[in-house]
Amino acid sequence: MATYDIVIRNGQVADGTGRKLFAADVAVKGDRIVAIDAPGTLRGDNEIDATGKVVAPGFIDVHTHDDTALIDNPTMAMKASQGVTTVVCGNCGVSAAPYVRPDVGHWMSLIIKKKENLSKDFASFAGKVDAAKPAINGAFLIGHGTLRINSMGDDLNRVATAGEMKQMRELLDQSLEQGAIGMSSGLFYAVSSHASTDEVVEVATPLGRWGGVYTAHMRDEGDHILKAMDETFEIGRRVGAEIIVSHHKCSGRSNFGRMKETLPHFEEAMKKQQIAFDVYPYVAGSTILRSDMLDRADKVLITWSDKVEGMSGRDLREIADEMGCSMKEAADRIQPAGAIYFMMDEKDVQAAMSHPGAMIGSDGIPFDAHPHPRLWGTFPRVLGHYSRDLGLFPLEDAVRRMTSYSAQRFHLAKRGEVRTGFYADLCVFDPATVIDTATFEKPISPARGIDTVICNGAFAWRDGKPGGGQAGRALNRQAMQAEDKA
């Protein structure tokens, strides 16, 4: 009888496709899944008893800002503890490469804490990720905002010139050739809000040629969301790229209930082009502190402030009362800062999450002093709270939205399924107890019920702590395309 490196025995397999749970042993050799057979039949050097547990593909967090967290914090505990084995980085228009300026600057500091993590081209950045030997994989988008700062300097309140667009386009082209998986834009943000639709199209043109995806933090997620959706669809159509709309939400009390408009709008467009979206399972969002967002939120929590100490985790209303001024004035006084905004309708969040076009992404921000709980809680919350406790969708479907569907939409070859020949990215969890424990008050807290997480055949998380695995890698689009055809 063949002996394997690892055998996960007697588990219930949720294979990622949505197929009903089935009992099986799963065997790993090297970095691959090599056998799936009747319970109790496979033998390995390392046997894990998964009786009563679910064996799923490792989860794919399709919306992250973990670009340099993979380098600075290679155990990636905030993600590995949730069962995540691949993070898609570079979302919302901000990526760590390509970037030739000498300083990190304010915008880039959202995802970069160390100057040495700046990289002039994508290949050298990917090299830094590989050299850090992270516990989990990264796949990387190139940020349109990063390209803008790189090519336009501080003069961003205008459309790029033809020469600047050409430079950005060439940098994107080179990055895609070097293995980046696509481009993200964040037209909502000041660094990119003056970019025209035509500018984004001009820059994003290489996506069509390389088969890269286009992800969009849209220009508007509130009153003008339908118009912003049309702009996004137009960009994808004109460059010939598949679209992923980031963290789909209807933001602000006056827009509560508008999933009734946006979801059919998606469905109409989906008939003509490939479109999907990601969702995080919370009614609060988080980004930089912006005074124009204060009116829309029921409550605002400060996540960090570079100006005033002791602000992290506090309610802006209280800070304003203490300062004896308006919330807007208080916000101005503590800038630059980050915030959590309670600004979504629970019914909308559930409608988005359970839509056929939806996959799960955390949008966690790894370096926040008091992060949004989604950083540590997204995946167990979908499994435990939304699937098991609320019955929003069956467990098999919850797993599918975190694995095979995500891998297909981002073209991550041979990942996202428990299948022979696929990479050994696996998560063993207890379906009866799995739950997030991170809260808005205490956001840094690992999930309960996730026992074993394996990435490329190595333990990323085991028995409540990092498992010592260092087998994560920078996934290369070119290599994945070749593998897909093989």
Q: Does 417 bind Cu ion (CB under 5 A)?
A: no
Pick 79 or 247: Cβ nearer Zn ion: 247
| Binding at 202: pick from Zn ion, Cu ion, none (beta carbon under 5-8 Å per type) | none
Q: Does 91 bind Cu ion (CB under 5 A)?
A: yes
Q: Which of residues 74-103 bind Zn ion (CB under 5 A)?
A: 92
Q: Does 217 bind Zn ion (CB under 5 A)?
A: yes
Pick 99 or 189: Cβ nearer Cu ion: 189
Pick 87 or 135: Cβ nearer Cu ion: 87
| Binding at 401: pick from Cu ion, Zn ion, none (beta carbon under 5-8 Å per type) | none
Q: Tell the smallest beta-carbon distance from residue 81 to Cu ion (Å).
A: 20
The alpha carbon of 52 is separated from its chain's Cα centroid by a whole number of angstroms, namely 29
Residue closest to Cu ion when measured from CB atoms = 92
Q: Tell the smallest beta-carbon distance from residue 465 to Zn ion (Å).
A: 31
Q: Which of residues 105-144 bind Cu ion (CB under 5 A)?
A: none
**x/- letters, 313..332, toward Cu ion (CB under 5 A):** --------------------
Q: Tell the smallest beta-carbon distance from residue 188 to Zn ion (Å).
A: 7
Pick 148 or 217: Cβ nearer Zn ion: 217
**x/- letters, 331..370, toward Cu ion (CB under 5 A):** --------------------------------x-------
Query: In DSSP terms, which residues pair with 29 in a beta bridge?
Result: 32
Q: Tell the smallest beta-carbon distance from residue 110 to Zn ion (Å).
A: 10
Q: Tell the smallest beta-carbon distance from residue 346 to Zn ion (Å).
A: 20
Residue 166 CB: number of other CB atoms within 10 A?
14
Count residues near Cu ion (CB under 5 A): 3
Stretch that binds Zn ion, among 9-17, 32-40, 211-219, 402-410 (CB under 5 A): 211-219
Q: Tell the smallest beta-carbon distance from residue 81 to Zn ion (Å).
A: 23
Q: Does 372 bind Zn ion (CB under 5 A)?
A: no
Rounded to 10 degrees, the C-alpha dihedral 440/466/84/481 comes to: 140
Q: Tell the smallest beta-carbon distance from residue 188 to Cu ion (Å).
A: 10
Pick 58 or 361: Cβ nearer Cu ion: 361
Stretch that binds Cu ion, among 91-99, 147-155, 456-464, 475-483 (CB under 5 A): 91-99
Q: Tell the smallest beta-carbon distance from residue 442 to Cu ion (Å).
A: 23
Q: What is the 3-state secondary structure (H, E, C) of the chain?
A: CCEEEEEEEEEEECCCCCCCCEEEEEEEECCEEEEEECCCCCEEEEEEECCCCEEEECEEECCCCCCCHHHHCCCCHHHHCCCEEEEEECHHHCCCCCCCCCCCHHHHCCCCCCHHHCCCCHHHHHHHHHHCCCCCEEEEEEEHHHHHHHHHCCCCCCCCCHHHHHHHHHHHHHHHHCCCCEEEEECCCCCCCCCCHHHHHHHHCHHHHHCCEEEEECCCCCCCHHHHHHHHHHHHHHHCCCEEECCCCCCCHHHCCCHHHHHHHHHHHHCCCCEEEEECCCCEEEEECCHHHCCCCCEEEEEEECCCCCCCCCEHHHHHHHHCCCHHHHHHHHCCEEEEEECCCHHHHHHHHCCCCEEECCCCCCCCCCCCCHHHHHHHHHHHHHHHHCCCCCHHHHHHCCCHHHHHHHCCCCCCCCCCCCECCEEEECCCCCECCCCCCCCCCCCECEEEEEECCEEEEECCEECCCCCCCECCHHHHHHHHHC
| Binding at 425: pick from Zn ion, Cu ion, none (beta carbon under 5-8 Å per type) | none
Strands 182-186 and 137-143: parallel
* Contact indicator for 403, 416 with CB cutoff of 8 Å: yes
Sheet holding 337-342, edge to edge: 284-288, 337-342, 299-305
Q: Tell the smallest beta-carbon distance from residue 170 to Zn ion (Å).
A: 26
| Binding at 400: pick from Zn ion, Cu ion, none (beta carbon under 5-8 Å per type) | none
Q: Tell the smallest beta-carbon distance from residue 287 to Cu ion (Å).
A: 8
Pick 143 or 384: Cβ nearer Zn ion: 143
Pick 141 or 331: Cβ nearer Cu ion: 141
* Alpha carbons within 13 A on the beta-carbon side of 469: 30
Q: Does 92 bind Cu ion (CB under 5 A)?
A: yes
* Contact indicator for 458, 469 with CB cutoff of 8 Å: yes
Q: Tell the smallest beta-carbon distance from residue 92 to Zn ion (Å).
A: 3
**Residue 317, both tokens:** 């209303």
| Binding at 79: pick from Zn ion, Cu ion, none (beta carbon under 5-8 Å per type) | none
Pick 92 or 351: Cβ nearer Zn ion: 92
Pick 148 or 462: Cβ nearer Cu ion: 148
Count residues near Zn ion (CB under 5 A): 2
Q: Does 178 bind Cu ion (CB under 5 A)?
A: no
Pick 15 or 363: Cβ nearer Zn ion: 363
Residues that bind Zn ion (CB under 5 A): 92, 217
Residues that bind Cu ion (CB under 5 A): 91-92, 363
